[in-house]
A and B are shown apart, each in its own frame.
Chain A
């Protein structure tokens, strides 16, 4: 789908994106992804040839009255959390 003008993807670039996405990767994954991303991003680059099209997306804001309804109970909301304390979710420390 593309000529030789492929963006090279370095291992550092993969690590930077993985860091942004909060996904740890091992060295093997970094190497494999760098190689695979090059081919996929070369496909993405071909979008550069897409012409501009006049389009009017039929988007509308959907509004509703803010009425109180029954939702999940606190117990139900917490039922899938492995770490809770005093009826709250317990997360890792911030820094």
Chain B
């Protein structure tokens, strides 16, 4: 098999001698801090950055006996759906090496799909765990907001993102979530609903009597082969005793726009910290100066470091976010996006009153060919249509392989109510 480029750094970090993950290798996305091991976020800005501390999830992996076998490749700062915006080159999809693995946690999903790691951690801001899981034919979970600590996760859009597991099976993904979930005094947004969880036990495949709602808006417009595979999977669940109902969620038509306004605005603020002073590419290196005194005043020096350190997609999102928050535009874009977020939450609440779980294709399209999407950022943004509503509503979701279309993997997404991880795990396990 061709070299997939699934890792940015291949370095072994040993965990405790025993525990639920003893003997398992785990690839960790390169935006999750590992003490003493480079953490680059796929960016030239952080090339060579070595965190002096572990993320909470890394401590929990080590305590559970896992061996971390490397830092997985990703879209730069998580900004992309293909893993092609990485400064360290694209990752190839092990199912078809002419295609992308999805993103932004593409290295994590590719490593698991190729058997280069038993399990992996990704992070999901708008689909970045579920999209690569779907494209690589593996399982990925985006937990309820607050279930997993973000301490040590390099922030892109705090109000949306969660660290989530990627694994070959639903039970293994749920088991990894059991290890990382739970409250953390270092992340004040964490909740205690995940303490002492046993999500793995819910992977019993028992969907008899379960009501599955399908939001029509998330199926319309998807690729024909994807839609066909999706309905075949719903038929299979009905055969197993599940009941299917159609639900309508008009708000999701605004989800992509609302998501990008919020994510880009938060990114413009979060990424302001990268000025090359405390860490990251410095103005002296960036501008090829002999000394800091040649780099100009701090505005000039920071702008030099940031021009050289950030790639085009990151610059695009920082600028659009800065624009959306700037005087005269804040109410029109950011304020309206918050209204849309509330509307989407309300639609989910109503739909989840009618059904135990909601289902849609994870991605409306099959895996892109390498290079296909980089030219037109807007087309890439629209590919996130089915995943971003979940982040805006803070809900849990899982992507599970549903079959193939034209020989390529199709992922099915189950969305649950807040802290409904067991329900989505149970539903997903019925498709294995």
Considering only CB atoms and an 8 Å cut-off, how many residues of chain A contact the other chain? 48
Given contacts A46-B257, A77-B52, A80-B49, contact A17 B326 (CB under 8 A): yes
**Neighbouring A residues of B381 by C-beta, 8 Å:** 40, 43
In whole Å, how far is A85's beta carbon from the nearest beta carbon of chain B?
Answer: 10
Assess the A92–B278 pair: CB atoms within 8 A.
no
User: What band does the interface of chain B fall in when counting residues whose beta carbon is under 8 Å from A?
Assistant: 35 or more
**Neighbouring B residues of A94 by C-beta, 8 Å:** 297-298
Assess the A22–B299 pair: CB atoms within 8 A.
yes
B275 at interface (Cβ–Cβ under 8 A)? yes
In whole Å, how far is B335's beta carbon from the nearest beta carbon of chain A?
Answer: 9
Assess the A25–B343 pair: CB atoms within 8 A.
no
Complex interface bits, A36-47 against B, C-beta within 8 A gives 1, otherwise 0 = 110111011011
The residue of chain B having its C-beta at the shortest distance from the C-beta of A18 within the complex is B319
The SS class assigned to the B binding surface is helix
Complex interface bits, A68-95 against B, C-beta within 8 A gives 1, otherwise 0 = 0000100011011111000001111111
Across the A-B interface, how many residue pairs have beta carbons closer than 8 Å?
A: 153
A27 at interface (Cβ–Cβ under 8 A)? no
**Neighbouring A residues of B377 by C-beta, 8 Å:** 36, 40
Complex interface bits, B53-70 against A, C-beta within 8 A gives 1, otherwise 0 = 100000000000000000
Residues of chain B whose beta carbon lies under 8 Å from any beta carbon of chain A: 49-50, 52-53, 185, 188-189, 251, 254, 256-258, 260-261, 268, 272, 275-280, 282-285, 292-293, 295-304, 306-307, 310, 312, 315-316, 318-320, 322-324, 326, 332-333, 336-337, 339-340, 342-343, 345-346, 377-378, 381
- Give the top 10 A-B pairs by smallest Cβ distance, nearest first: A92-B301, A80-B279, A24-B307, A55-B342, A47-B336, A76-B52, A62-B188, A82-B282, A21-B322, A24-B303
